[in-house]
Amino acid sequence: MSEIASLSLDGKTYELPVVVGSENEKAIDIQNLRAQTEFITLDSGYKNSGATSSKITFLDGEAGILRYRGYPIEQLAEKSSFIEVAYLLIFGNLPSKIELENFANAITRHTLIHEDMKRFYEAYPAKAHPMGVVASITCSLSTFYPDSLNANPKKEAVELTITRMLAKFSTIAAWAYKNSVGHPGIYPRNSYNYVENFLYMMFAMPTEDYEIDPVIVNALDKLLILHADHEQNCSTSTVRMVGSSQANLYASISAGICALWGPLHGGANQAVIEMLEQIRDDGGNVAKFVNKAKDKNDPFRLMGFGHRVYKNFDPRASIIKVACDQMLNKLGVKDPLLDIAKQLEEAALNDEYFVERKLYPNVDFYSGIIYKAMGIPTEMFTVMFALGRLPGWIAQWKEMIENKEPIARPRQVYTGATKRNYINIADR
C-alpha cells in the first residue's frame, strides 16, 4: 500500500502521509493540511477523525473485537479482576503478583475521603441526581489535594493522584447513594477488596451485619472490567480534551463524568430500564415500541441499541447477556423486565430497519437488569458505568500527558452572518 495519499484541490495535487497502526488501521495525516492548502476537514461528531494515536485499547467495530493493551476482553472478563485490569490499562502491562498486591493495597489505604467533604453531601437536595453529585465531588478533590494542580508533577506525585482518584471514587459514589436515601455514609473497610468494599459501602447499615454475596461480587467485577475502557468515546475524549489544557486529573475526570451522563452515552443504562418499565406499564406491546423507534416523526429510540463503532455486535453485550442470565439464576431473581428485553431484542434483530442500519444491543442493554437485580437503584446506573470507566479515563489522561499532546482545539466552518454594522436600538 502507498504510504502517501494524494489530494487534488483547485487543480493542484498535495501529498499527505498515511499512518498505519499496529492492527493495520489506516489514517491520512492531515496535520499540515491547512498550512499547505488553507483547507480544513469537516467531520461533525468526529465520525471519521482520529484525535490521537493510542496504545491502550483496540476496537474493531466490524469484527466485534475489543482488547485492552492487546488482551481480548473475553479473556480478561473470565480470568482477571477489575483492579488487575485497572493496573493493565494505566501502566501498560499485566502486573506481577507483588505489583498487584502493592497497587491494590495502595488503593485500599486511600479510600477514606476528607471528613469535610461530608458537608458537601448534606448540602445537596434529596432528589439530586447522583451523577451531578459525583461529578462535583470528584472535581472538589482538587481543592483538598492542591499538589495535583502542578502541571508538570514528578512520576510519584502523578501515581499518588491516580491512586487517590481510584480509591476515593468508590467511596464518593457509594456515599452519593447513601445520601440520596438519607442514610449515613458507611466508612470503607480495609479487609475487603475493591468490589466488596464498594458493595459494603453501598448496602451495609450501621445497625446490622452485612454479608458479602460472592455471586454479586463476581458479576460486578465482570461488569466493571467490561466498562473499563473503550478508546476515544465521548467521555474519554472529554477527559483528554480537558486534560490537554493541563487541567488536573480530578477536573479532567469530573468533565468525563459529565460527558458520560447523557442518555446517548453512559446514561443509556438508566434509559434502558426506564424504557423497559414504560413498555411494561403500557401493557407490554413490544411491537408498538419497535414501530415507534422506526418512526422518524417520533423522537423515541430503542435505548441500548446501536453504537457509533460496533456495527455487527458489541462483544461486551454478548458477555453481559450470559452473565446476566447466570446471575439471575443463581440469585433466583425473576424479572419481568428481562422477558421484555429478550422480546425486544428478538423483534429488533429480525426487523429490516434495525438490520439495515446495523443496530444491535449494546453493553447497556443488559447491564441495567444486572444492576437492578443487585439492588442498585436506577439513578445510580450511570455512576456504576463511571466507576468501571475510571481506569480507562485515567490511562488515557496519563498517556495524553506522557505524549505531551498539544491542547485540543478543533476548527470550524463559519456559516453565520458576514460583517454587518451595529444598529442603534431605537432604529431596529
Q: Any idea which residues carry the catalytic annotation? A: 307, 364
Joined together, the cell numbers standing for residue 199 give 458493595
Q: What is the contact surface with ligand CMC in residues (CB under 6 A)? A: 230, 233, 264-266, 268, 293, 301-308, 357, 359, 362-364
Return the number of the residue (84 or 364) whose C-beta is nearest ligand CMC.
364
DSSP designation for 152: S
Tell me the sheet residues that pair with 5: 16
Residue 46 CB, nearest distance to ligand CMC (Å)? 10
Closest residue to ligand CMC, Cβ-based?
306
Distances (CA, A) of 354 to 55, 75, 267, 348, 381: 33, 30, 21, 6, 26
* CB contact at 8 A, 69 and 93: yes
CA–CA separation, 108 and 197 (whole Å): 9
Return the number of the residue (117 or 253) whose C-beta is nearest ligand CMC.
253
Return the number of the residue (177 or 310) whose C-beta is nearest ligand CMC.
310
Return the number of the residue (256 or 306) whose C-beta is nearest ligand CMC.
306
List alpha helices for 228-267, DSSP H.
234-244, 249-261
Residue 179 CB, nearest distance to ligand CMC (Å)? 26
CA–CA separation, 128 and 240 (whole Å): 27
Residue 390 CB, nearest distance to ligand CMC (Å)? 15
Residue 166 CB, nearest distance to ligand CMC (Å)? 21
CA–CA separation, 174 and 373 (whole Å): 17
* Cα angle 183-184-187, degrees, rounded to a multiple of 5: 135
Joined together, the cell numbers standing for residue 297 give 416523526
Mark residue 11 as left, alpha or beta (left: phi above 0; alpha: psi -120 to 50; beta: remaining): left
Q: Strand order of the sheet with strand 26-28?
A: 4-9, 12-20, 26-28
Residue 294 CB, nearest distance to ligand CMC (Å)? 7
CA–CA separation, 80 and 225 (whole Å): 8
* CB contact at 8 A, 204 and 177: no
Residue 43 CB, nearest distance to ligand CMC (Å)? 12
CA–CA separation, 204 and 255 (whole Å): 30
Return the number of the residue (188 or 304) whose C-beta is nearest ligand CMC.
304
Return the number of the residue (257 or 303) whose C-beta is nearest ligand CMC.
303
